[in-house]
């Protein structure tokens, strides 16, 4: 499985296409992970933030996008570095010159977790729940 | 203490009773943990998700419910397995045949944490803050 | 960097000033961390909770505020204890007698993480992205 949560401050409304960003992350997980992330377990969502204080609180245009990824235990360090370097670069490219046009902090964190699961989405991809 | 956060995709609106699910989780923590989770420290909340991409993004009915649990350090592995196996089974039962009726991914992750706390809810249950 | 997320139950609406609380946390990180947290990396946000079950679910005034902090790896245990003891005390002071006036649980958890980042907010403070 692979979960991603994209938090974004709402002063970025209109500055980037949210759905395209979510789709980019899901596509990277599906197409570039060489099968490490089963398709049916990819879950990318966004949280819109309306209340925030950034840095010294004095820059009304200060904004951030933060991506938290949770994935199963046991992927190699080599995979982890290669895949997430690529993912982060893709997100940065996607945002383009937005970093030049306004103060913007982008961050991404990855954690591993094992849990309980039951999933009927896998069926569409020929897998098990 | 025991925190639980239930994320759910809003295409499940009307497909299950959210408050009943939150209550079920809180009840399991209160009634089946043999006192491991002090009642006054049980906090279950939901996050409604409006923006998400699941799997290949091609199934408009693809949906997920994800439960993140945070609890104090030091519960035994035996307790942990027994309690959360039971909790997950209870949630699965609660959702019933929803897994057959649509593509749905249910997941639950548990982490331990120590922190700072001050709590006047405990008084109602005869405990301390 | 230092991230903080303040979750609060919406039955506290009007009981405290949310923006003032977020500002207090950002100010503590900026002014009392002796430079440990670069100013441009401070990101404090709130999540308003509308759906929740607390304790036995029988106290409609039961409320909670939970603060999750994420910071870079490598701060000393001494710094960590001193800074977060102080931060938690400041938040408790800020809430004042609210703990006496209603059942309220306050909690704070701190985790360390390393990740990927790119940040044009730092420029305003003479730092790098």
Q: What is the pLDDT of residues C53-88, one digit of tens each?
A: 999 999 999 999 999 999 999 899 999 999 999 999
Are B46 and B18 in contact, with CB atoms under 8 Å apart?
A: yes
A23 Cβ contact partners less than 8 Å away, ≥ 6 residues apart:
A44, B53, B57
Kindly tell me the burial class for residue C15, based on how many C-beta atoms sit within 10 Å of its own C-beta (0-12, 13-18, 19 or more): middle
Model pTM?
0.96
Whole-number average pLDDT of chain B: 95
Task: Quote the pLDDT of residue A54.
Answer: 98
The pair of structure tokens assigned to C91 is 């938040």
Chain-centre distance for alpha carbon C32: 14
C77-95 and C18-31 helices cross at what angle (nearest 10)? 150
3-state helix, strand, coil in chain B (%, to 5): 35, 35, 30
Biggest distance spanned by C-alpha atoms of chain C: 52
Rounded CA gap, B75 and A104, in Å? Answer: 41
Give whole-number Cα distances, B40 to A77, B30, B121, B122, C119, in Å: 41, 9, 5, 5, 41
Among B70, B117, B120, the residue with its CB nearest the CB of C103 is B120
CA distance A20 to chain B (A): 10
Q: What would the mean pLDDT of B106-117 be, rounded to a whole number?
A: 95
Rounded CA gap, A54 and B52, in Å? Answer: 25
Could you tell me which CATH number the domain at B2-125 has?
A: 3.30.429.10
Q: What would the mean pLDDT of B43-64 be, rounded to a whole number?
A: 98
Whole-number average pLDDT of chain A: 95
Task: Quote the pLDDT of residue C128.
Answer: 57
Q: Which helix (H) or strand (E) holds B99?
A: helix B98-101
Inter-chain touch B119–C102, beta carbons under 8 Å: no
Residue A129 confidence (pLDDT) above 80: no
Rg (alpha carbons) of chain C, rounded to whole number: 16
Rounded CA gap, B26 and C6, in Å? Answer: 21
Whether the CB of B3 is below 8 Å from some CB of chain C: the reply is: yes
Query: What residue ranges of chain C have pLDDT lower than 70?
Result: 127-129
Chain A residues closer than 8 Å to B110 by CB? 115
Inter-chain touch B53–A113, beta carbons under 8 Å: no
Q: Which of residues 15-34 of A touch B (CB under 8 A)?
A: 18-19, 22-23, 25-27, 30
List the subunits that have 3+ CB pairs under 8 angstroms with B: A, C
| Closest listed residue to residue C16, CA positions, set C70, C93, C109 | C93
Rg (alpha carbons) of chain B, rounded to whole number: 16
- Which ipTM value was assigned to this complex? 0.96
| Closest listed residue to residue A39, CA positions, set B53, C114, B127 | B53
In this structure, the number of other CB atoms found within 10 A of the CB of residue A104 comes to: 24
The residues pairing with A53 across neighbouring beta strands, listed in sequence order, are C44
Chain A residues closer than 8 Å to C19 by CB? 51, 53
Question: Within a 13 Å sphere around the CA of C2, how many CA atoms are in the beta-carbon half?
Answer: 29
Which residue in the block uniquely carries the two structure tokens 């938090």? Answer: A7
Which residue in the block uniquely carries the two structure tokens 């249910």? Answer: B106
Rounded CA gap, B69 and C87, in Å? Answer: 24
């Amino acid at each position: 499985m692979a979960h991603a949560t994209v938090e974004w401050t709402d002063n970025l409304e209109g500055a980037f296409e949210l759905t395209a960003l979510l789709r980019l992350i899901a596509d990277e997980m599906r197409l570039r992970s060489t099968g490490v992330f089963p398709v049916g377990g990819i879950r990318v969502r966004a949280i819109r933030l309306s209340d925030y204080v950034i840095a010294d609180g004095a820059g009304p245009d200060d904004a951030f996008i933060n991506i938290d990824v949770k994935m199963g235990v046991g992927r190699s360090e080599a995979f982890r570095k290669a895949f997430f370097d690529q993912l982060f670069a893709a997100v940065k490219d996607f945002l383009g010159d937005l970093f030049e046009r306004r103060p913007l902090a982008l961050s991404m964190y990855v954690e591993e977790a094992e849990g309980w699961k039951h999933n009927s989405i896998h069926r569409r991809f020929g897998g098990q729940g």
